[in-house]
Chains A and B, each alone.
Chain A
Amino acid sequence: MTFSSHHADIDFFSSLPPRRTHHRLGGFFVTPNSQRVSFDTIPTAMDFTNYLPVLLIILMAVGFGVINIVASGLLGPKRSGDVKDSVYESGMNPIGTARKRFNVRFFILAMTFLVFDIEIIFLYPWAVDFTQLAQGSPEATLFFGRILFFLGTSIFAYIYAWKKGVFRWD
Chain B
Amino acid sequence: MLDRLWFLIPEFILLAGAMVCAIGGISTFAPIRKRVGFIASIFLVIALFSVPYVYGQTDYTHPETMLPGLGKYIKMMAAFVGLLLVATSGGLIDRGYERAIGAGKDRFDPLRANSGEFHALLLLSLTGVMLICEARDLIWLFLALELVSLPTYVMVAISRWSKTAQEAAMKYFFLGALSAALMLYGFALLYVSTGTLVLQEITEAFSAQQNNGGLLVIAQVGMLLAIFGLLYKIAAAPMHLYAPDVYQGAASAVTAFLAFVPKTAGMIAIILLLSTVGWEDGLPPAIEMALWVVAVLTMILGNIGALLQRSVKRMLGYSSIAHSGYMLIGVIAGPELGLPAVLVYLFIYGITNTAAFATLASLSRGGKRVDSLEDIAGLYTTSPLAAASMSVASGSLLGIPPLFGFWGKLLLFAAGIAAGQISLIIVAAVSSAISAWYYLRLIGLSLLSNPHNHGERTKVTLRWPLAVAVVGACISIAGPLVLEGVMVDAKEAITLPESELAMSLPSLEVDDERE
Q: A residues touching B (Cβ–Cβ < 8 Å)? A: 1-4, 6-7, 12-14, 16-20, 23-28, 31, 35, 37, 41-45, 142, 156, 159-160, 163-166
Contact of B191 among A3, A13, A16, A160 (CB under 8 A): A3
A-contacting 9-mer, from B33-41, B60-68, B211-219, B449-457: B211-219
Q: Which residues of B contact A164 (CB under 8 A)?
A: 26, 110-111
B23, A42: Cβ atoms closer than 8 Å: no
Given contacts A28-B220, A28-B286, A156-B19, contact A20 B213 (CB under 8 A): yes
Given contacts A25-B289, A164-B111, contact A1 B137 (CB under 8 A): yes
B111, A16: Cβ atoms closer than 8 Å: no
B212, A14: Cβ atoms closer than 8 Å: yes
A12, B212: Cβ atoms closer than 8 Å: yes
Contact of B23 among A13, A23, A43, A159 (CB under 8 A): A159
Give the distance in Å from the alpha carbon of A165 to the alpha carbon of B27 in the complex: 12
Closest to A20 in B: B214
A28, B211: Cβ atoms closer than 8 Å: no
8 new A-B pairs (CB below 8 Å) besides A2-B197, A42-B192, A163-B23? A1-B137, A3-B195, A6-B195, A23-B285, A25-B289, A28-B285, A44-B195, A160-B23
Given contacts A14-B212, A24-B285, contact A44 B217 (CB under 8 A): no
Q: B residues touching A (Cβ–Cβ < 8 Å)? A: 1, 19, 22-23, 26, 109-111, 137, 191-198, 201, 208-209, 211-218, 220, 284-286, 288-289, 513
Some 5 contacts from A to B, beta carbons below 8 A apart, are A2-B198, A4-B196, A42-B216, A44-B191, A142-B1
Q: Which residues of B contact A28 (CB under 8 A)?
A: 217, 220, 285-286, 289
Q: Which residues of A contact B284 (CB under 8 A)?
A: 27
Given contacts A2-B201, A45-B192, A164-B26, contact A27 B1 (CB under 8 A): no
A27, B215: Cβ atoms closer than 8 Å: yes
Contact of A43 among B19, B109, B195, B215 (CB under 8 A): B195
Give the distance in Å from the alpha carbon of A20 to the alpha carbon of B109 in the complex: 67
Q: Which residues of B contact A165 (CB under 8 A)?
A: 109-111
Contact of A27 among B194, B212, B220 (CB under 8 A): B220
Give the distance in Å from the alpha carbon of A7 to the alpha carbon of B192 in the complex: 11
Contact of A160 among B22, B192, B195, B289 (CB under 8 A): B22
Contact of A25 among B211, B212, B285 (CB under 8 A): B285
Q: Which residues of B contact A1 (CB under 8 A)?
A: 137, 198
Contact of B211 among A4, A18, A27, A42 (CB under 8 A): A18
Q: Is chain B's binding surface mostly helix, strand, loop or mixed? A: helix
Give the distance in Å from the alpha carbon of A1 to the alpha carbon of B196 in the complex: 10
Q: Which residues of A contact B194 (CB under 8 A)?
A: 43
Tell me the minimal C-beta distance from B13 to chain A in angstroms: 15
Q: Which residues of B contact A14 (CB under 8 A)?
A: 212
Given contacts A37-B217, A165-B109, A165-B111, contact A13 B212 (CB under 8 A): yes
Tell me the minimal C-beta distance from A133 to chain B in angstroms: 14
User: Which 6 residue pairs spanning A and B have beta carbons closest together?
Assistant: A28-B286, A24-B285, A16-B213, A4-B196, A13-B212, A45-B192
Closest to B1 in A: A142
Closest to B286 in A: A28
Contact of A37 among B137, B198, B208, B218 (CB under 8 A): B218
A18, B23: Cβ atoms closer than 8 Å: no
Q: Which residues of A contact B216 (CB under 8 A)?
A: 37, 41-42
B285, A35: Cβ atoms closer than 8 Å: no
Name the residue in B110, B214, B220 with the highest tally of chain A Cβ atoms < 10 Å from its Cβ: B214
Give the distance in Å from the alpha carbon of A31 to the alpha carbon of B22 in the complex: 55
B217, A24: Cβ atoms closer than 8 Å: no
A42, B220: Cβ atoms closer than 8 Å: no
Q: Which residues of A contact B193 (CB under 8 A)?
A: 42-43
Q: Which residues of A contact B513 (CB under 8 A)?
A: 24
Give the distance in Å from the alpha carbon of A28 to the alpha carbon of B218 in the complex: 9
A163, B286: Cβ atoms closer than 8 Å: no
A35, B213: Cβ atoms closer than 8 Å: yes
Give the distance in Å from the alpha carbon of A7 to the alpha carbon of B204 in the complex: 13
Given contacts A24-B285, A160-B23, contact A3 B109 (CB under 8 A): no
Q: Which residues of B contact A163 (CB under 8 A)?
A: 23, 26, 110
Give the distance in Å from the alpha carbon of A142 to the alpha carbon of B109 in the complex: 40
Tell me the minimal C-beta distance from B112 to chain A in angstroms: 9
A4, B209: Cβ atoms closer than 8 Å: no
Closest to A46 in B: B192
Tell me the minimal C-beta distance from A156 to chain B in angstroms: 6
Give the distance in Å from the alpha carbon of A19 to the alpha carbon of B197 in the complex: 27
Tell me the minimal C-beta distance from B113 to chain A in angstroms: 9
Q: Which residues of B contact A3 (CB under 8 A)?
A: 191, 195-197
Q: Which residues of B contact A24 (CB under 8 A)?
A: 285-286, 288-289, 513
Tell me the minimal C-beta distance from B140 to chain A in angstroms: 10
Give the distance in Å from the alpha carbon of A148 to the alpha carbon of B26 in the complex: 25
Tell me the minimal C-beta distance from B345 to chain A in angstroms: 27
B195, A4: Cβ atoms closer than 8 Å: yes
A25, B201: Cβ atoms closer than 8 Å: no
Give the distance in Å from the alpha carbon of A163 to the alpha carbon of B23 in the complex: 8
Tell me the minimal C-beta distance from B163 to chain A in angstroms: 18
Tell me the minimal C-beta distance from A5 to chain B in angstroms: 8
Q: Which residues of A contact B218 (CB under 8 A)?
A: 37, 42
B217, A4: Cβ atoms closer than 8 Å: no
A27, B286: Cβ atoms closer than 8 Å: yes
Give the distance in Å from the alpha carbon of A164 to the alpha carbon of B23 in the complex: 9
Give the distance in Å from the alpha carbon of A100 to the alpha carbon of B213 in the complex: 62
Tell me the minimal C-beta distance from A1 to chain B in angstroms: 7
